[in-house]
Structure 1
């Protein structure tokens, strides 16, 4: 029995060592591939499928957003989504027509909607007018109206976690798709160009948000993947209490201090997130800066690193995950309850 156990243990240990070695080899190959992609991004441009022009009405002309005009804005954007659905259907785009039709549902609440092209939207979950804590989610690459449901699911999961953890708290979550996100397989995902375009829109949105909720409401930015680059570019002087960076390839800043924000800066990465293999560099190639610099979960960056469990790049908002639990604590201001990375 003892001999059998020892052999089994040795075999298991051998498998563990072999598995670890295989993972290291895979990691080296992935890092080499990603490094080649970064280096060749400007020299050998990659093509990415883009959606052709999709007909839709101009965004609704809205009164300045306040708590008193919220219902008016929600109604106008639902009407806009309904019209966009009709126009897409007439153009033969059944996929977009279905997506727009879902957004026109009377139960949905949009602060902004633009059905043109890849589309933009800002959807509210909860009673924004009376919220004391607001989370604004900023998505990463390949997020558009065509893929919006998966982004919406992350907002719903966070909203449910907030309600579960603090049922008596007045909270709201906003899914902010307020910029044209880059495609994962493209040169734009390796540079700050889209983030630079998005940053002023995010700053303006946060300003409008405080006009609705009042200055007493505490806002947390929850930024995922390329969305962390957007948040990094917008951070300076932004009136938010917390900035949480998950699955980040970098922010374009060398450190949390380089973001020039008074907000608490948090960072996390799941154990199986491929973004760990992205080279954390910032290089000038032919007049274009490629890469986003210091890894936000590294000690050199100086963020408050929290536990995210063993999940992958798309698992930060999964129900029951360590990352979702910690994100909810950050939004609620329960910072002493946030668990740190092992």
Structure 2
């Protein structure tokens, strides 16, 4: 078959697969996709975030989490009440907290006020306050690795659940709608980080799964040093240059990550653009591809993994030590 014919056939197959994915998502019963509204107070009103107002913000968000826990318990939601109560622990520090609905939270690990290197973790689908502990574990693992590798460095890690993530089995996970909503909030958060740490701080975005779509949408002109994409279905850009960022763009995928089988194309289906384009670990994307080892989609932050070691090197600016795939 001529090459042009093979390309057309491959394109038709990929579009058909995307259509099947969309159709499958559409037929999920509404009862499975629905989320009950969870009562909670409005987020605390905070002074502009600076190094001087951090403790005030942390205290206000703890108090808000206490009230959210009380309201969830009164509503009969013991699971959310327990999650909120854990976030009110005096040893935990939140820059933002919103217990309403699926919830949002931004937690700090380390001394953010004096950090000169900050990693911001951006999560993928199915991350809510109810599943937040899984996301928190990734931030803790990265922070511990940074502390082990560079005990005298001034580093902090931030877990940024600052948007309503899509469900894995839904139409929203196949389009950039949630990412487009999230991007302005991520840009504003990075601006706040620089107000806290000073403009000279090196900020690295560490983006996982659908979070890489969020980072791709937010990247243009963002004041970050590096953007690391792991387990990415694509960013919506044809290449790293299409992100319009001065940051170094990194990408990795574990050998057992199911996202490899996702068609890395975009197509207009039912009047909506579905899919996220070029595979970030492909040569065509022109990212710095680093070793991620044999792990699966949820293993990039596993202690002892090649991916975690390389992510720590990227955050620390030790780019010559990063191992490449």
- 2:151 is matched with which residue? 167
> Are the counterparts in 1 of residues 22 and 174 from structure 2 also a CA contact under 8 Å?
no
Of the three residues 294, 298, 317, the one matched with 1:333 is: 317
TM-score (norm 1): 0.89
- The answer for the alignment partner of 1:284 in structure 2 is 268
Instruction: Tell me whether 1:267 sits opposite 2:247 in the alignment.
Output: no
CA contact (8 A) 1:136 1:221 kept: yes
How big is each residue's C-alpha offset from its partner over 1:73-103, in whole Å with a ceiling of 9 and x where there is no partner? 0000000000000000000000000000000
Aligned partner of residue 135 in structure 1, secondary structure: strand
Per the alignment, residue 27 of structure 1 pairs with none
CA contact (8 A) 1:46 1:187 kept: no
Deviation of 1:285 after TM superposition, in Å, equals 1.0
Distance (whole Å) between structure 2 residues aligned to residue 35 and residue 173 of structure 1: 39
SS in structure 2 of the partner of residue 300 of structure 1 = helix
What are the ranges of 5 or more consecutive residues in structure 2 without an aligned counterpart? 1-11
Match in the other structure for 1:222:
206
Counterpart Cα distance in 2 of 1:94 and 1:104 = 15
Task: State the shift of 1:51 in Å.
Answer: 2.3
Corresponding residue of 1:151: 135
In structure 2, distance between residues paired with 1:43 and 1:219: 39
Secondary structure at 1:161's aligned position in 2? helix
Correspondence list, 1:93-112, <5 A: 93-112=77-96
**CA apart distance, 1:38:** 2.1
How large is the Cα RMSD of the aligned pairs? 1.4
Q: Which residue of 2 aligns with 1:178?
A: 162
Moved over 4 A (4+): 32-37, 41-44
Larger Rg: 1
Are 1:151 and 1:175, in contact at CA under 8 Å, matched by a contact in 2? Answer: yes
Distance 1:36 1:148 in 2: 35
Instruction: Give the one of 21, 39, 42 matched to 2:19.
Output: 39
CA distance in 2 between partners of 1:151 and 1:284 (Å): 32
Q: Secondary structure, in 3 states, of the residue corresponding to 1:320? A: coil
Question: Residues 43, 308 of structure 1: CA spacing in aligned structure 2 closer, same or farther, 3 A cutoff?
Answer: closer
Q: Is 1:317 equivalent to 2:301 in the alignment? A: yes
- C-alpha displacement at 1:287, in angstroms? 1.6
Q: What is residue 187 of structure 1 aligned with on the other side?
A: 171
CA contact (8 A) 2:14 2:265 kept: no
Q: State the Cα deviation string for residues 159-194 of structure 1 (Å, max 9, x = none).
A: 000000000000000000000000000010000000
Pair 1:75-2:55 in alignment: no
Secondary structure, in 3 states, of the residue corresponding to 1:69?
Answer: helix
1:114–1:120 contact (8 Å) kept in structure 2: yes
Structure 2 vs 1, CA of residues 46 and 212 (structure 1 numbering), >3 Å: closer, same or farther? Answer: farther
> 1:46 deviation in Å?
3.9
